[in-house]
């Protein structure tokens, strides 16, 4: 399993679409900086003003913007931000979902019609991982690019399922929203020119390969020396480059990821505590329990019991 796939599964990525709705002039909304979110211009044009910027940018059909970590911004039908409405984004969502569109429908403004699709991204915030730490604040891409033509097909399916729901539509939309988020990350990763950050690490030929080796089977990795040999570097050169890009030493990253796998085993298997401890690289259950509690602030037993209660009640 490649590193990005493994991490996205571990952080329990979940994406969903709030609405796909027509907007007519005049309209504008202030979007708060809460959970990660995205907007897709399905038809027409609109304007986006990012927090901290003074000049709005125009978005046209096929443009996708995302705020993986949240981020305040304004969207509306004109570059004249001050003269446009500033309705709170959550009120816009509530109004549209309740069937009460918050903006007036004026036939005389038909030439300004546009269709906007909005949604959110969430993940398990209790998991500490460099990918979450290094998520970009803002991503923009366009399905008009030839290499992303297939993404436009996904957007059109999402829009159709959202506007004309049928049995199973919610699942279809959510899964396609997750594909959208993953592609946004992949495109951002491929455009990375920085010499640090987890996405840059994934895109690096050497460190990306090392991460894939770890995530393919972390429990079987013999240590930093073996990883360095695998990628053709000395231990010191490998450690320096890995630490620079990932923000953690390879030893710490491997240990942390084994802890996440141990937690998953506690929750999803019937293996004994000693078996899980040995798989995580510990020689005793006591040593494992001590390290686990330091990492998660809960004992392995507490984690297992809590999950068992949750599964029983659910």
Give 156-181 pLDDT, tens digit per residue: 999 999 989 999 999 999 999 999 99
Distance of CA 97 to the CA centre of its chain: 24
Residue-level pLDDT at 107:
55
Task: Print burial letters for 137-171: b (CB count within 10 Å at least 16), e (below 16).
Answer: eebebbbeeeebeebbebbeebbbbbeeeeeeeee
One domain for residues 184 and 219: no
Q: Judge whether 199 lies within some domain.
A: no
One domain for residues 218 and 173: no
Strand, coil or helix: what is 305?
helix
* Cis status, amide bond into 26, omega within 30 of 0: yes
DSSP E strands in the chain: the ranges are 14-23, 28-31, 36-43, 45-50, 57-60, 63-67, 73-76, 87-88, 114-122, 139-142
CATH number at residue 283: 1.10.10.60
Structural domain harbouring 150: 3-190
Decide: 174 and 92 in contact? Cβ < 8 Å.
no
One domain for residues 269 and 178: no
Q: Judge whether 196 lies within some domain.
A: no
Compute the distance between CA of residue 104 and CA of residue 220 in angstroms, rounded to an integer.
Answer: 61
Q: Judge whether 120 lies within some domain.
A: yes
Q: Which of 133, 161, 190 is the last residue of a domain?
A: 190
Residue-level pLDDT at 26:
87
One domain for residues 149 and 67: yes
One domain for residues 134 and 30: yes
Write out the chain's pLDDT in tens, 314 residues. Answer: 899 999 999 888 999 999 999 888 889 999 987 789 999 999 999 999 999 999 999 999 999 999 998 899 999 999 999 888 899 999 999 998 888 888 866 454 355 478 999 999 998 877 889 999 999 999 999 998 878 889 999 999 999 999 899 999 999 999 999 999 999 999 988 887 767 899 999 999 999 999 999 999 888 888 899 999 999 999 999 999 999 999 999 999 999 999 999 998 998 888 999 999 988 888 899 999 999 999 989 999 998 998 888 877 76
* Radius of gyration for the chain, computed over Cα atoms and rounded to the nearest angstrom: 23
Q: Which of 141, 157, 190 is the last residue of a domain?
A: 190
Residues whose CB is less than 8 angstroms from the CB of residue 9 and which lie 6 or more positions away in sequence, other chains included:
none
């Amino acid at each position: 399993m490649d590193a990005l796939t493994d991490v996205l599964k571990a952080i329990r990525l979940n994406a969903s679409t709030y609405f796909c709705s027509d907007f007519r002039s005049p309209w504008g909304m202030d979007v708060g900086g809460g959970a990660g979110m995205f907007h897709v211009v399905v038809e027409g044009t609109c304007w986006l003003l990012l927090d901290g910027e003074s000049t709005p940018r125009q978005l046209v059909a096929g443009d996708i913007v995302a705020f993986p970590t949240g981020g305040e911004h304004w969207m509306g039908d004109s570059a004249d931000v001050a003269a446009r409405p500033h309705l709170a984004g959550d009120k816009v969502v509530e109004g549209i979902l309740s069937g009460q569109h918050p903006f007036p429908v004026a036939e005389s403004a038909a030439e300004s019609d546009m269709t906007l699709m909005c949604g959110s991204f969430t993940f398990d915030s209790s998991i500490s991982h460099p990918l979450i730490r290094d998520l970009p604040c803002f991503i923009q891409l366009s399905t008009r690019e030839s290499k992303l033509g297939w993404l436009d097909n996904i957007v059109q399916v999402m829009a159709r399922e959202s506007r004309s729901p049928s049995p199973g539509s919610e699942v279809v939309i959510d899964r396609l929203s997750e594909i959208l988020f993953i592609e946004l990350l992949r495109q951002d990763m491929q455009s990375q020119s920085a010499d640090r950050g987890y996405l840059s690490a994934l895109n690096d030929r050497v460190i990306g390969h090392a991460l894939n080796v770890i995530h393919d089977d972390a429990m079987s990795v013999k240590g930093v020396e073996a990883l360095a040999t695998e990628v053709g570097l000395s231990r010191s050169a490998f450690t320096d480059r890995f630490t620079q890009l990932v923000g953690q030493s390879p030893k710490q990253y491997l240990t942390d990821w084994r802890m996440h796998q141990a937690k998953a085993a506690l929750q999803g298997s019937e293996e004994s505590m000693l078996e899980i401890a040995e798989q995580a690289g510990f020689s005793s259950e006591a040593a494992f329990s001590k390290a686990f509690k330091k990492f998660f602030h809960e004992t392995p037993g507490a984690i297992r019991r809590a999950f068992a209660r949750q599964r029983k009640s659910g």
